[in-house]
Amino acid sequence: MSLVMGLAGCQSLVLEGSSAGAGIAGAALAQKVTDNAAVTTGIGVGVQAATRSAVQYVQREMHGYTQEVIATAAGSLKEGEVANWKSIHSIPMEPNEQGRVTVSRVISQGLLECKEIVYSVDSEENSMPRNEFYVASICKDGPRWAWATAEPAVSRWGALQ
């Protein structure tokens, strides 16, 4: 598992590799307990599903952390101002990220205070700078700014918010 976790940035490999490995290990362990192929298969599939769910949970938590970092960086900005953001993950399942964020417009009505933001994810590919841009909304939630977009950058994070 630590070998798979060390492959930062290979989300599908981590997800599929972890769940397949857990399924095989679960089935091998179940085979030592019973000779019933249906029970062995059921245990293997159950362990695989639980592992897949755990990996997806960790990925959602990492994405939530990155969203929180971006929202915090954008919260104090006025329209047109730009700030840098950087997320550093404690588990190397995904790469650390950085970029810039700006407020494109303020959306407020009464007590509801929100902002539309444009943020970049800046990286380097073959010694060339690469920037990907996304649009999201953040809203004030008590003393802090929180991510308010229901489907943030689906192409970026897939179905995992």
pLDDT at position 127: 80
Query: For the ranges 6-10, 40-44, 109-113, 128-132, which has the lowest average pLDDT?
Result: 6-10
How does pLDDT run across 44-95, given as a tens digit for each residue?
A: 677 777 777 777 777 777 778 899 999 999 999 999 999 999 999 887 777 8
Residue 96 binned pLDDT confidence (cut-offs 50, 70, 90): confident
Average pLDDT, the chain: 76
* More confident: 143 or 10: 143
How does pLDDT run across 22-49, given as a tens digit for each residue?
A: 545 554 555 566 666 676 667 667 777 7
For residue 71, the 8-state DSSP code is H
From the list 76, 160, 63, 70, the residue with the least C-alpha distance to 122 is 70
* CB-based contacts of 60, cutoff 8 Å, min separation 6: 160, 161
Can you tell me the mean pLDDT for 103-132? 89
What is the number of helices (H) and of strands (E) in the chain? 4, 5
Helix axes 11-33, 37-75, angle to 10 degrees: 150
Q: What gap in Å lies between CA 161 and CA 149, rounded to an integer?
A: 10
Residue 5 binned pLDDT confidence (cut-offs 50, 70, 90): very low
- List the structure tokens of 24: 């095989």
Residue 2 binned pLDDT confidence (cut-offs 50, 70, 90): very low
Quick one: what percent of the chain has pLDDT higher than 90? 35
pLDDT at position 21: 53
